[in-house]
């Protein structure tokens, strides 16, 4: 993990309040570096990490065949994190999630043919080991996609299983004489008339985890990648679909029971192994139903939807609603957060290309608790809408041919806007979306309240204003964001404070020389407090609250 500098000077970046345009400024704060390091050391590494999701096929092509590869990621590691905490030119990423890297007949890789090997289009095991080594040198962890729910229909086990009822692998899959519906598929290859179960498609037959041999085999796979290869963890694809119970095809008790023993298994191998599950749901309770004794975390789709809806609709109702449910259902914020991922239209497309809104969305993500995941290209505003291939286009590095991704024709052409939307264009522009992400990540990692603190929702008199308090015990920060294109006048804040004692307080800006009024807490609450008389459109303000 990229640790904060122990020097007294930490870079803090500033957003001028006109239309949310940022510029860069240094700010001296003497205590925060040591406090942040203490917060990091007291937490599991994943609780304080910022993740970056990469589709290997689309990140960078090192051998000019039009397909991204592992060596390409290695070449670009310094873009993500150069390993030097005193430099501010890298993005500041602490960990990478690699989408499937195993051999597969599909471009996306979610139908695996060999769990012990590397997709030859991406490179070799030696290439992967080199990537892992170079990432670890820079303090970057790597987790890989682990597809437990199903294999490819071209996996040798399924090929053997479908050819004969007597196959040693027949009972590794789910069969029926009378299976009907979209999840059941005719076995047109073997002598049997049985149907096999594949929740996602006929190309992805589900594994039968009621057969202990399947569990044993997949545990061998997991052990191999942890013990022999040295990965830092896994993202579990389609976790909620693992075991069906009659007509119930997700979140069954047997699925929960299986993951409980799985948790014990991988923690016994290495307690520092991190597992995050995909449990797609608009219900925040899913995060607590799986985390803690089954997986370390799951993705919180409800808060992601709240971030996006509030940004798009210019109203705080989406995110504050999500927060209210989280306060009841998952108050420890032990889950993964994100804006959009490889299965959803890209956030910039959802926001109709509005860069200021994209900055606001980034601020909501990176000033909130939880472990944030950034989808590659999100930090420069890449566009993409369904079909899936178009939300997984090549990374846009430069304005050169093929967006600097490859000298050959890419497997998928980049978006036509690559000449203006690319890393090279944005890296030296202080007001760019890329530098906004760098700013917010740097601030998150420099302040324990933002890194690992609690959140208290703050009531605002204007729905276009979002406000929250972040506190880790020693530091309290006020987050104030104008979600809208309008100037907000005299927006008042109110809250009942569980961690600020009665007394008078002043605000010190972390983003520019913004002068905010002081306030007084009486009887553990404050009402009608106006920190700034005029809040500019799409502006992002962060203030350290200190005793006056």
Burial per residue of 291-330, b for 16 or more beta-carbon CB atoms within 10 angstroms, e otherwise: beebbbbbbbbbbbbbbbbbbbebbbebbbbbbebbeeeb
CA distance 323 to 22: 27
CA distance 384 to 377: 10
Other C-beta atoms closer than 10 Å to the C-beta of 440 total 28
Q: Which of 61, 145, 278, 425 is catalytic?
A: 278
206, 150 in Cβ contact below 8 A? yes
Angle at 364 between CA 362 and CA 370, to 5 degrees: 100
CA distance 426 to 380: 7
- Terminal C-alpha separation, the chain: 35
| DSSP bridge partners of 176 | 195
Structure tokens at 505: 């307080």
Q: What is the 3-state secondary structure (H, E, C) of 88-125?
A: CCCCCCCEEEECCCCCCCCCCCCCCCCCCCCCCCCCCH
CA distance 226 to 270: 8
Q: Which of 206, 237, 379, 475 is catalytic?
A: 237
Integer angstrom CA distances of residue 98 from 267, 294, 403 = 21, 21, 21
What DSSP string describes 306-331? HHHHHHHHT-THHHHHHHHHHHHH-T
Q: 212 CB contacts (<8 Å, ≥6 apart)? A: none
Phi and psi dihedrals of 413, rounded to 5? -65, 140
Q: Is 257 tagged catalytic?
A: no
Closest CA to 150 of 158, 142, 141, 162: 158
Structure tokens at 439: 């700013």
What DSSP string describes 182-217? TTEEE--SSS---EEE-SS-TTSPBB-TTSHHHHHH
537, 486 in Cβ contact below 8 A? yes
CA distance 430 to 26: 13
CA distance 500 to 303: 26
CA distance 442 to 277: 27
Q: Is 90 tagged catalytic?
A: no
Q: Looking at the annotation, which residues are catalytic?
A: 237, 278
């Amino acid at each position: 993990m990229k640790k904060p500098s122990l020097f007294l000077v930490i870079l803090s970046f500033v957003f001028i309040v006109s239309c949310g345009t940022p510029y860069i400024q240094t700010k001296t704060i003497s205590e925060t570096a040591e406090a942040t390091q203490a917060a990091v050391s007291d937490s599991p590494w994943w609780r304080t990490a910022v993740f970056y999701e990469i589709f290997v096929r689309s990140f960078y092509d090192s051998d000019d065949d039009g397909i991204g590869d592992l060596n390409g990621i290695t070449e670009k590691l310094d873009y993500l994190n150069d390993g030097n905490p005193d430099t501010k030119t890298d993005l500041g990423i602490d960990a990478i999630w690699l989408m499937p890297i195993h051999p597969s007949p599909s471009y996306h890789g979610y139908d695996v043919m060999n769990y012990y090997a590397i997709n030859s289009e991406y490179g070799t095991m030696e290439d992967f080991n080199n990537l892992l080594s170079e990432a670890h040198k820079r303090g970057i962890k790597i987790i890989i996609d682990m597809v437990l729910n199903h294999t490819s229909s071209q996996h040798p086990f399924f090929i053997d299983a479908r050819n004969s009822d007597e196959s040693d692998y027949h009972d590794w899959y789910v069969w029926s004489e009378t299976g009907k519906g979209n999840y059941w598929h005719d076995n047109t290859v073997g002598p049997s008339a049985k149907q096999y179960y594949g929740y996602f498609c006929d190309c992805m037959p589900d594994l039968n985890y009621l057969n202990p041999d399947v569990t044993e085999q997949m545990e061998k796979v997991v052990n191999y990648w942890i013990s022999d290869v040295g990965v830092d963890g896994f993202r579990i694809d389609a976790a909620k679909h693992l075991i069906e119970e009659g007509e119930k095809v997700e979140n069954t008790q047997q699925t929960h029971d299986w993951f409980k023993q799985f948790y014990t298994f991988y923690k016994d191998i290495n307690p520092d192994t991190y597992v995050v599950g995909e449990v797609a749901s608009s219900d925040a309770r899913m995060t607590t139903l799986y985390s803690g004794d089954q997986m370390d975390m799951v993705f919180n789709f409800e808060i992601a939807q709240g971030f996006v809806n509030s940004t798009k609709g210019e109203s705080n109702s989406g995110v504050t609603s999500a927060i209210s449910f989280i306060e009841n259902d998952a108050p420890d914020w032990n889950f993964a957060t994100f804006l959009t991922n490889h299965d959803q239209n890209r956030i910039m497309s959802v926001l109709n290309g509005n860069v200021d809104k994209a900055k606001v969305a980034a601020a909501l993500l990176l000033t909130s608790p939880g472990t944030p995941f950034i989808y590659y290209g999100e930090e420069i505003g890449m566009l993409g809408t369904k079909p899936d291939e178009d939300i997984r286009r090549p990374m846009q590095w430069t304005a050169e041919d093929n967006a600097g991704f490859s000298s050959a024709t890419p497997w998928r052409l980049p978006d036509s806007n690559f000449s203006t939307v690319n890393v090279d264009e944005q890296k030296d522009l202080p007001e760019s979306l890329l530098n906004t992400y760098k700013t917010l990540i740097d601030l998150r990692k420099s302040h324990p309240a933002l890194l690992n603190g609690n959140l208290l929702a703050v009531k605002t008199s204007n729905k276009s204003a979002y406000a929250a308090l972040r506190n880790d015990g020693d530091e309290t920060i006020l987050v104030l964001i104008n979600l809208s294109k309008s100037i907000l006048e005299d927006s008042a804040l109110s809250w009942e404070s569980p961690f600020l004692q009665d007394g008078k307080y002043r605000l010190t800006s972390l983003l520019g020389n913004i002068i905010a009024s002081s306030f007084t807490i009486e009887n553990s609450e404050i009402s009608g407090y106006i920190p700034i008389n005029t809040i500019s459109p799409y502006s992002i303000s962060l203030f350290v609250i200190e005793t006056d």
